[in-house]
Amino acid sequence: SSDLDVIVLGTGLKECVLSGLLAVKGKKVLHLDRNGYYGAETASLNLTNLWSMFRPGEEPPAQFGHNRDWNVDLIPKFIMASGDLFKILLKTKVSRYLELKSCEGTYVYQFQDASFFSAAKYIHKVPATAADGLSSPLMGILEKPRFINFAQFILVWEDEKLDTHQGIDPRRHTMAQVYNKFSLSESTIDFIGHAVALEPTDDYLAKACGQTIAKCKLYLNSVMQYGGSPFLYPIYGLGGLPEGFSRLSAIHRGTYMLHKPVDGFEYDAAGKVCGVRSGTEVARAKMVICDPSYAAPEKTKLVGNIIRAICILGAPIPHTKNKDGGPALSCQIIIPQKQLKRKNDIYIMMVSWAHCISAKDKYVAIVSTVQETQNPEKEIEPALKLLGPILEKFVSSSEIRLPVDDGTKDQVFVSSSYDPTSHFEDATKEVLATWKL
């Protein structure tokens, strides 16, 4: 029909958030996905779907129990407790459909002595409280007061109030200069940059410090939100996020069709999109929003690949603990690039049966990073070693594609691929930027 405002292709999180927001605004939305399940790249799969995606023709082992007990994420990410995505969840009331649980701890890997490899020595909890900071083995006794001064500086910083800046200009000074001002050591800088600001590489050191200060502030505010950890995770897996926004869209008369292949776009004389083709049918609309897999090749550019390894474990990751000292049922471990002489950090995210994503006493750890060589499995080996015995492992490599333009010219708005970082902040910023267009 010709009276649609928007056609959305792919039910990934970014597409579903936009579809929900547009429907709430009274737009007529048609949402299609070629898959038979919601979530596209951000889906959570049951055992049957997981096996058919990675090992077609094979049956999942009986020891893993019921299909319905499993919701394995394809893309590992947490929600920042004070971040933009959480604010959207609250504002749209999609949070009503979700039960969120705090992650039990973030660890950073610091390799002090290259002569031998022992996880216990090198996985350190990222301090979440002042008491954590004082007892943390990440810093020496003289370093701790400097770190606390730095944390205090971040917490009181307000962009508009110059008297909170201690002479730092967020647009002119680099982050390296800020660290220098607080005389922080190299290893402290490493864990602040990668495990607090969550910067994926060291490139940020030479850039204006404003953005990194904002990222540190977001982390510290998120920690204070629920105490103990800045990260939240939905019970039943991340697939619940796109499903929640789909529900929001459906309540406001958005229409969904799964199992619907898309064969091409139609354009008018001015070069603007005017419809989407599926087989012999054409749906007409003035605007299309889609993920890179639905866009014409010339609409996106390939900038790299991400390797992800989904690992099923029978025990928690060794040397990770919850606040009572027991083994952690969820955690994140960040291996800063410098520790492995790489250009990009490696992330490990672990959730478990406690989040209803696996059968009782099973754990799912996902390792992800930007691929740097022709032998990506070798690149993630140090991370896999930290996990303890692995029962099953599914490795995939996916392209990182970015849109070549903002979409305003032809009204085809293409999202970018999901990055390997451990949270949805960049994805949410992209959604908000598209929303403004």
Angle of helix 84-91 relative to helix 425-436, nearest 10 degrees, comes to 60
Query: Predicted confidence band at 359 (pLDDT cuts at 50, 70, 90)?
Result: very high
| pLDDT single digits (tens) 247-262 | 999 999 999 999 999 9
Mean pLDDT, the chain, integer: 91
Query: Predicted confidence band at 136 (pLDDT cuts at 50, 70, 90)?
Result: confident
Please give the Cα distance from 422 to 330 (Å, whole number). 13
Q: What is the pLDDT of residue 1?
A: 47
The phi, psi pair for 97, rounded to 5°, reads -90, 0
89 and 95 Cβ atoms separated by less than 8 Å: yes
Q: What is the pLDDT of residue 322?
A: 83
58 and 50 Cβ atoms separated by less than 8 Å: no
Tell me the percentage of the chain whose pLDDT exceeds 70: 97
Q: What is the pLDDT of residue 116?
A: 43
Q: Which two tokens stand for residue 94?
A: 């999609």
**Residue range 358-379: mean pLDDT, rounded:** 94
**Residue range 398-410: mean pLDDT, rounded:** 93
Q: What is the pLDDT of residue 125?
A: 86
3-state secondary structure of 286: coil
Amino acid at 38: Y
Q: What is the pLDDT of residue 312?
A: 97
**pLDDT higher than 90, residue 127:** no
Residues β-bridged to residue 196: none
3-state secondary structure of 359: coil
Does an H or E element contain 149, and which? Answer: helix 143-156
Query: Predicted confidence band at 100 (pLDDT cuts at 50, 70, 90)?
Result: very high
Contacts 24+ apart (CB under 8 A), 115-118: 117/382, 117/385
Q: Tokens 């660890």 map to which residue?
A: 107
Query: Predicted confidence band at 115 (pLDDT cuts at 50, 70, 90)?
Result: very low
Full DSSP string of 54-83: HSTTPPPPGGG--GGG--EESS--BEETTS
Q: What is the pLDDT of residue 289?
A: 95
3-state secondary structure of 95: helix
Q: Which two tokens stand for residue 387?
A: 């996990």
Please give the Cα distance from 62 to 362 (Å, whole number). 14
Gyration radius of the chain's alpha carbons: 22
Q: What is the pLDDT of residue 140?
A: 84
Sort strands 288-290 and 331-335 into parallel, antiparallel or unpaired: unpaired
3-state secondary structure of 371: coil
Among 247, 262, 297, 299, which residue's Cα sits nearest to residue 404?
299
Kindly report the number of other CB atoms within 10 A of residue 307's CB atom.
20
Query: Predicted confidence band at 168 (pLDDT cuts at 50, 70, 90)?
Result: very high
Please give the Cα distance from 280 to 368 (Å, whole number). 40
Query: Predicted confidence band at 237 (pLDDT cuts at 50, 70, 90)?
Result: very high
Does an H or E element contain 156, and which? Answer: helix 143-156
What does pTM read for this prediction? 0.90
| pLDDT single digits (tens) 273-286 | 999 999 999 999 99
Please give the Cα distance from 369 to 434 (Å, whole number). 26
| pLDDT single digits (tens) 282-324 | 999 999 999 999 998 899 999 999 999 999 999 999 989 887 8
Residues β-bridged to residue 350: 331, 365
Please give the Cα distance from 408 to 411 (Å, whole number). 5
**Residue range 141-145: mean pLDDT, rounded:** 89
Buried b (16+ CB within 10 A) or exposed e, 120-151: eebbbbbbbeeebbeebebbeeebbebbbebb
3-state helix, strand, coil in the chain (%, to 5): 35, 25, 40
